[in-house]
Structure 1
């Protein structure tokens, strides 16, 4: 049995016309009747509109490859035990080249068989960032061997964004969009 949402997903009245329309477009994108995260966060009308462009940019238009971004997001969701984030991004990751076996390696951690050196350091850096709120000099040096300065900055913002989002989702107890 799932825990009831602390702030239930809102409809037109709670979201207002703009956020309601955005949530409906988002729901169509995930092929669900609603996109619970948007229907919850959209109830803070102005903050939602400020948060959304950064989120969209990090997810779809950043300097990191979409595959690497999903690698980080899946690891953060796993570390934070955020089933909502994992459900959304397991599906999206498959469309970005991360099959079930690769996802299992992400969840197993940096010592999993079959990871490249870049993937190992990406998991290690994500783990350090989420757990210690920083990245060690050794891990940073290894990460910098694979990524440009803009990509390194984006790694930090992406990891922080999805760590904070996982905490928000868990705290608000956002209902799953795919309860099966």
Structure 2
């Protein structure tokens, strides 16, 4: 992959974005958090994007486990190695072991998935592929999630779908290249 916009340093990011990127790098235990070092080059947009991204990832109304099911499925559908590398690790800390992750990648018909996981995967597939969710799938999703959680599901799937496209388009280098 060609880096169209390479990760920036202190001068490119400015002091605040540089500190945020350094904190993120520490969190993933890497010398650099490439996504932050690229997006941080647009100083104000980065600061606007970051709170929503952090909310969806760490504090949303969906359980952290359910959020990771959606994120992993989007990353799989979009073939986003960057997102997969980041979220395979995070998902394990949120109760999604390697076997469960393999089932998520296999799809909603994989053996061993819970009903809620099947519905989340089906809804994610529809959202990403067709840009919507069918009435039947929405009805199933509504049995498991509140209205605020349903809104969050849409924004979470859209956020990670758009992020996968952005990462690919900008050529963001992997943080875990090995």
Pairwise TM-score range, normalised by the shorter structure? over 0.9
Say whether 1:74 aligns with 2:72. yes
Say whether 1:147 aligns with 2:125. no
Structure 2 unmatched ranges of 5 or more: none
1:116 deviates by 1.0
Say whether 1:96 aligns with 2:94. yes
**Alignment-derived partner of residue 49 in structure 1:** 47
**Alignment-derived partner of residue 129 in structure 1:** 127
TM-score by length of 1: 0.98
CA distance in 1 between counterparts of 2:113 and 2:89 reads 20
**Alignment-derived partner of residue 163 in structure 1:** 161
RMSD over equivalenced CA pairs, Å: 0.4
**Alignment-derived partner of residue 32 in structure 2:** 34
**Alignment-derived partner of residue 7 in structure 1:** 5
- Count of residue pairs brought into register by the alignment: 178
Structure 1 unmatched ranges of 5 or more: none
**Alignment-derived partner of residue 60 in structure 2:** 62
CA distance in 2 between counterparts of 1:34 and 1:173 reads 15
User: Following TM superposition, where does structure 1 have runs of at least 4 consecutive aligned residues deviating by more than 2 angstroms?
Assistant: none
1:4 deviates by 2.5
TM-score by length of 2: 0.99
